[in-house]
């Protein structure tokens, strides 16, 4: 791949987009473009078309989306469905009409059915009902996968969908109203550690039972997979991106508690929803293509906590 190829990273200020930007820069790509949502609202088709006419990106990476955890998804079903449909439809359709060479669409593991066999294979898509707590988001993402598949099938273009498992890392969202489980735990343990009274750390209350099993991928690993997909034409339209290993939410909490240095109790609020009982990606399709994750969970969380401490004084929530 020529290092001066023009690459548009939609959502370049987000956790995923900024990691992709850093990785591309590190690898010597010199012609990167990005726009904030204030500069270009991707929900507006005419603005997106004007941008493509003016900038003519050769490669488009779609890391723009309205993203959030269970609470945000269930409180705001309409924007989680409609904003995501509008953003991705406008990008995919403009990339198709204005002749981008390549399009990389990022979705998430929530596209797979709630009770699909584990680990999740790409072929389980649309085989049974979705997890109701995030079906709005999942339906939008499934539509994006299908749009890229249709373009690939009808026009033979290199449009590919990558489905990352749960991500974490620098630039994660640390707002408890909209964050995912891992950054929410870092914030809760950190705040409890800060409010020590007579040398004791107050207990931390976490959602659910602690029993669900989850997989976590460092965002720099995902960025590496995106650059791999950019540099190596993939033969199929849909690939899972993960580590292929999971752990219980309780084990995750204990790991984060240790890294942060909180010594109080953990209380589990089982009146709150657990979500899907297990979510682990089958990643052999991507491994067979030649890519695998390299950042261990403990190492990745330690680095993320360091980033959190360095950026704590700035506004590191992404609340919308
Ligand atoms: N976070 C995860 O655990 C996870 C897991 C699997 C997959 N993913 C996927 O990765 C992608 C990015 O997620 P993320 O975690 O990086 O999210 P994020 O940090 O919230 O970033 C989202 C980005 O989307 C942009 N955006 C949102 N609405 C927009 C609009 N109307 N117009 C233009 N830009 C808009 C934002 O731009 P501004 O900052 O300029 O407002 C922001 O840069 C999503 O497709 C998501 O499904 C994430």
Name the residue of 64, 165, 238, 243 whose CB sits within 8 Å of the most ligand 1 atoms, as the mutation to test its pocket: 64
Shortest-distance Cα residue to atom 29 of ligand 1: 37
H or E segment and range at residue 279: strand 278-279
Q: Are 227 and 290 spatial neighbours (Cβ–Cβ below 8 Å)? A: no
pTM, rounded to two decimals: 0.95
Active site residues: 137
- CA dist 142 and 227 (Å) reads 22
Ligand 1: atom nearest CA of 84 is 28
Shortest-distance Cα residue to atom 12 of ligand 1: 63
Name the residue of 11, 12, 112 whose CB sits within 8 Å of the most ligand 1 atoms, as the mutation to test its pocket: 11
Instruction: Quote the distance between the C-alpha of residue 20 and its chain's center.
Output: 12
Q: pLDDT tens string for the chain (320 positions)?
A: 899 999 999 999 999 999 999 999 999 999 999 999 999 999 999 999 999 999 999 999 999 999 877 778 888 999 999 999 999 999 999 999 999 999 999 999 999 998 899 999 999 999 999 988 889 999 999 999 999 999 999 999 999 999 999 999 999 989 887 788 999 999 999 999 999 888 899 999 999 999 999 999 999 999 999 999 999 989 999 999 999 999 999 999 999 999 999 999 999 999 988 877 888 999 999 999 999 999 999 999 999 999 999 998 776 554 43
Strands 213-214, 247-248: pairing is antiparallel
Ligand 1: atom nearest CA of 141 is 47
Residue ranges around ligand 1 (CB below 6 Å): 11, 13-17, 36-37, 40-43, 63-67, 87, 106-108, 164, 166-167, 173, 180, 318
Cα 45 to ligand 1 centroid, rounded to whole Å: 18
Ligand 1: atom nearest CA of 137 is 47
Q: Are 15 and 167 spatial neighbours (Cβ–Cβ below 8 Å)? A: yes
User: Would you give the DSSP letter of residue 120?
Assistant: B
Cα 175 to ligand 1 centroid, rounded to whole Å: 14
């Amino acid at each position: 791949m020529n290092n001066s190829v023009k690459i548009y990273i939609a959502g370049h200020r987000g956790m995923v987009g900024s990691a992709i930007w850093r990785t591309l820069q590190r690898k010597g790509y010199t012609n990167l473009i990005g726009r904030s949502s204030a500069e270009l609202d991707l929900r507006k088709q005419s603005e997106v078309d004007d941008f493509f006419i003016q900038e003519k990106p050769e490669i488009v990476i779609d890391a723009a989306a309205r993203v959030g955890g269970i609470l945000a998804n269930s409180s705001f079903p309409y924007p989680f469905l409609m904003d995501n449909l509008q953003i991705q439809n406008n990008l995919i359709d403009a990339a198709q009409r204005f002749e981008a060479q390549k399009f990389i669409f990022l979705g998430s593991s929530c596209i797979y059915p709630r009770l699909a066999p584990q680990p999740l294979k790409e072929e389980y898509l649309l085989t049974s009902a979705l997890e109701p707590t995030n079906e709005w988001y999942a339906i939008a993402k499934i539509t994006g996968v299908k749009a890229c598949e249709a373009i690939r099938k009808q026009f033979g273009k290199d449009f590919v969908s990558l489905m990352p498992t749960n991500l974490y890392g620098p630039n994660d969202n640390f707002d408890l109203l909209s964050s995912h489980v891992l950054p929410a735990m870092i914030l809760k343990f950190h705040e409890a550690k800060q409010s020590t009274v007579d040398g004791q750390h107050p207990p931390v209350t976490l959602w659910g039972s602690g029993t669900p099993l989850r997989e976590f991928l460092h965002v720099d690993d995902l960025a590496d997979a995106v650059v791999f997909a950019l540099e190596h034409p993939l033969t199929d339209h849909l690939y899972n991106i993960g580590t292929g290993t999971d752990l219980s939410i309780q084990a995750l909490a204990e790991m984060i508690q240790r890294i942060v240095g909180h010594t109080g109790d953990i209380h589990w609020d089982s009146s709150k929803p657990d979500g899907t009982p297990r979510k682990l990606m089958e990643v052999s399709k991507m491994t067979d293509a030649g890519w695998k994750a390299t950042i261990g969970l403990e190492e990745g969380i330690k680095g993320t906590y360091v980033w959190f401490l360095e950026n704590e004084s700035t506004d590191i929530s992404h609340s919308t």
